[in-house]
Amino acid sequence: MGVDRRLPWWAALGSAALGGFLLDVATPGLAWWPVAFIAVPLVLAALWQQRSSFGALLGAVAGAAFWLPHISWLTLYLGPVPWLALGTVMILWFALFGCCAALATRFLARVLRARALRARWIALTQACTVAGLWVTREQLQSSWPYGGFAWGRLAQTQAESPLAQSVSWTGTAGLSGLLVLLCAVPVAVAFAAGAPSWRSFASPRAIRSGLVPAGGVSLVGLVLLGLVPPAPLLGAPDGADERTLTVAAVQGNAKAGIFDDRESGDVLRAHLDTTRRMLDELDERGDSVDVIVWPENSGEFDLPGHVLNSARVAQLSSRADAPIVAGSVLRDRSARSADDGSGSAPEETYTNSAVVWDAEGDTGVRYDKRRPVPFAEYMPNRPFFHALAPELVDLVQLEYQAGELPASVDIDTPAGVVRAGMAICFDIIFDEHARAMQSTGAEIIFAPTNNADFGRTDESAQQLQIARLRAIEMGRGLVNVSTVGTSAIVAPDGRDLDRLTPYTADWMVADVPLRSGTTPAMLFGVGVASMWVALGVAPLKLALASGVARKFRGGGSTSTSRRAGTSGA
């Protein structure tokens, strides 16, 4: 198995670009999830055993082909600057992955061949390493910079596929690793069979050497993953999962975007009016609900401090005989210096919060968003970025603080006290927040959001897809309600219990099971993710150490390796 077996530059560039583009096709809006199993092998084939510098370029090409269309919703109102800024960060992570994958596959081919390992074992080792590096990239992009962006992960493409149930066993990172491994095995075997070009991938030698059997093994693996049932909930007491909660969620179709032409009170009024119509219909049918969930920002600014608005919400809660969970921006505390036009931080800080109202008014139950969005809900390094793009930075007028309250709250309902995990908007995409909801005893997840700034783009559908996978991973029912959509109530197994048409003033009502106990994904997900990272990083460290050692030994070993056809990565 020679390390020179790699695609020519023109084929590698085309494969990387096509693979990255198809990876976006596998996500909403098209959401053709099977295409992911074409996209990933194309990206990996482009990188396989390339020189590390060219691997970085190929990774950047694949990353650009995926990320730039995937987050194009950022351009809707804000133009190209935020889109290019976030896209560049994500592309750099992909470039780093490309560099590392190329380096690791070349190194393993050289070292393991020198130890006379069979080609199949070399291929398997390479496949495991590349899968680990892919997961490492996803983990890093989900953590840094400014808290990361846990979007566009491979497992998320499968939220509506038969493979989604396996995430309750493996966690999101674990499922991504398994999917990449199954895609990498045929690629690794193809190169082990001597396939340096597209034509020889289908050559008789490649077929005889195991390409088709390897593809068959991967296909069987995917089928088996698709047959995996939802994981049992561990530690749940007998009879604990027999309770249900009748949830109503209201989508007001409000003008809630940053550039929408509206008056103060319009967003709240839209949700008050839609809730009244919902209660009229429920009264006609003789039905009732246990809790009403409104979207993020539905109560506008300082709902507890606005006497008239507070009374209106309390009146509706009294009529429904059910609490209302509403979103509101709340003042937090004084901090930093006043804005003097120099781009310094505002005088006050705020929280993006969810508050609970009953017939008496504010119950005092509150959750503050724990992961405010940088450059949207707060401005990191404000003076620096203000100097670069003052008009865009000045749009971020409020400085939101990260919430420090528990991720789950107790809500007193007609069905009894319910422990609800709270995830406002992008909270839902972070694994750490899922663990926080789990550790604080969430029986159901409320995920209010405001997607109005992204119009009729794919953003809200992508976010719902992530939320759906999170519901399966945690084994919890989930209420994803937006000001404008996409809104859905999701069962613990990922099915829609109810769903609304975007950009309609409407409501949904469903009986949602309350669950206790923990899925294996929540118990062992961190360990599984760490295992994948170790599988990727360990061979990479050896490769880097080997390269440093060769440089210290001088030119003699370099010329020897070139004569052997094993030039350094």
Evaluate if residue 514 carries a pLDDT over 80. yes
Q: How far, CA to CA in Å, does 109 sit from each of 116, 322, 498? A: 11, 64, 52
pLDDT digits (tens, 9 = 90+) for 250-275: 999 999 988 888 888 999 999 999 99
Evaluate if residue 114 carries a pLDDT over 70. yes
Q: How far, CA to CA in Å, does 190 sit from each of 50, 194, 499? A: 15, 7, 44
Contact assessment for residue 2 and residue 565, using Cβ atoms and an 8 Å cutoff? yes
SS3 512: strand
Give the whole-number percent of the chain exceeding pLDDT 90. 75
Evaluate if residue 560 carries a pLDDT over 50. no
pLDDT digits (tens, 9 = 90+) for 82-102: 999 999 999 999 999 999 999
pLDDT digits (tens, 9 = 90+) for 55-75: 999 999 999 999 999 999 999
Contact assessment for residue 438 and residue 407, using Cβ atoms and an 8 Å cutoff? no
CB atoms within 10 A of CB 565: 11
pLDDT of the residue at 483:
97
Mean pLDDT confidence for 373-385 = 91
DSSP-derived pairing of the beta strands 416-422 and 408-413: antiparallel
Contact assessment for residue 105 and residue 47, using Cβ atoms and an 8 Å cutoff? yes
CB atoms within 10 A of CB 569: 24
Contact assessment for residue 172 and residue 525, using Cβ atoms and an 8 Å cutoff? yes
pLDDT of the residue at 333:
53
Residue corresponding to tokens 């995996």: 228
State pTM to two decimals: 0.92
Mean pLDDT confidence for 124-140 = 97
